[in-house]
Structure 1
Amino acid sequence: MVAEVFGGIISGSLALLADAGHMLTDFASLVLAWLAFRLARRPADWKRTYGFDRFSVLAAFVNGLSLFVIAAWICFEAYERLQKPVQVLGGLMLWVAVGGLAVNIVAFWVLTRGENDNLNVRAAALHVAGDLLGSVAALVASLVIIFTGWMPIDPILSAAVALIILRSAWHVVRQSGHILLEAAPDGFDRRKVAKTIEAEVPGVTRVHHVHAWSITQERPMATLEAEVSAEADIVQVKQAIKKVLQDTFGMEHTTVEISQRPAATALQID
């Protein structure tokens, strides 16, 4: 990162400066991701009954927003460079870009070995992927400058990488924001859930008050209320509903409330 800062300043390359700035924010983002991962492993307490898992989603959300800021800055600087071209030292830029690329490849490999479904890990890996693309852009730009002398390639490739980062950042922000707003997990439609339970579980006459949310992407939860006939066995019905929710909709943690109307009593008149 330090080498890219000095290399970018000396060579005049926006691609190197952008990559260095991105790596600086990456360092902070990776520290935040690591702290979130450690904190999420702490057990629940009497104040935080769901534990600390949601902190990792919050970290992913913050990391995603920081990528928006980085991409906006790179695009602005690229526009300025296109208006007022700057002389770039292609040879120095090439060697610094090669070193940055090697570091980013190792970091990306480490982050993508484990929990790919974890939003926090994905956000951290996305930061490093942005760095990796930045290093590739700097490498390609340096080669073009060395062999052709065409300076605009530096800001053009920098802006292209920023747009790629922006697209990926939007997915992380959207998914983490979806969880933070306690929206229903992907693929969970409460209308379909109610109809499925009413059709497949004997004794259920009506399903309502269906709610679903996620603590993290890996921990979806649901609650619902079911009305059953007077003859139905409440315990068996509850077990059957939970099985449908797990097998059909992937809900392992569910709370089911049963309401049962008493059987009608016949009135005999002498």
Structure 2
Amino acid sequence: MHTEIIDLNGQSFFLRRWGKPDLQPLLMLHGFPEYGGAWSDLAPHLANHFHCIAPDQRGYGQSWCPKGVGNYTVSQLVSDMAALIEQVGTPIYVLGHDWGASVAYGLAMFRPDLVSSLIIANGVHPVPFQRAMAIGGAQSEASQYINALRAPDAAARFSADNFARLEQFFRFGMGVDWLSDDRMQDYRTEWARPGRLEAMLNWYRASPLVVAKPGEPRTDLPELPLERLMVRCPHLLLWGPDDKALLPEATAGLEEFAPNLTRIEVPDTDHWLHHQKTKAVAQAILEWVRD
């Protein structure tokens, strides 16, 4: 692995790279509460085929961390990664997980000139996800944690006692056998960087998506420009079926927005499939690329 700091739109971003620079680039976008180092399990299994590039995204790890919710809208997060792709060379493969999937979808939808193929691992397109969260059913119930993360005092609460609540959130209902004590300390080190946890939470606060209370459907939803939310490049959706945060209904109807979609379920995995079954995830990606 090689690390470096680069300039994107006038700001500093920390990158990790695996694989030879002359290979096909693969941009790997982490989610919450991870950072670019989260790809250190999967990237080595892809590095013979791809030049893997894993940034700490805005507000995370060792990258630029501006203050204020307004600095964490999806359009700005996408702009960061668009600038990175423009430096690397276009178009490239993009892989996103969790919140990284939201940025990856944003790139594919709003900068299709930069994305040759889109790979999502347990992440969601905004329209099916918003529909599922607004109904007041199972996904609404599963998404109630978003309200806790958006709360004004969330950073103080989740960082107390050496990030005890954030660790509990990380582990809740998921298979985390991969999360050793040493790795957990690596995460705490990244979370403890000045201002980082507040910035990470600002990703949730800046999102316009609405979460209904269980049994209370919402109709006051943000207007989404459906015609602009199409993913026209080849799209692979990898899914850990035991995910407790993102349920299958969160991807219902995705084909409406991604006509060139392939779905692959990775058995015996949940939200952290890229850690739990790294070889199976890598194999699914490589076989799809070769088809």
* TM score, norm. by length of structure 2: 0.20
More helix by share: 1
The structure in which a higher percent of residues are strand is 2
Given the two structures, how large is their TM-score scaled by the length of structure 1?
Answer: 0.21
Q: Which has the larger radius of gyration?
A: 1
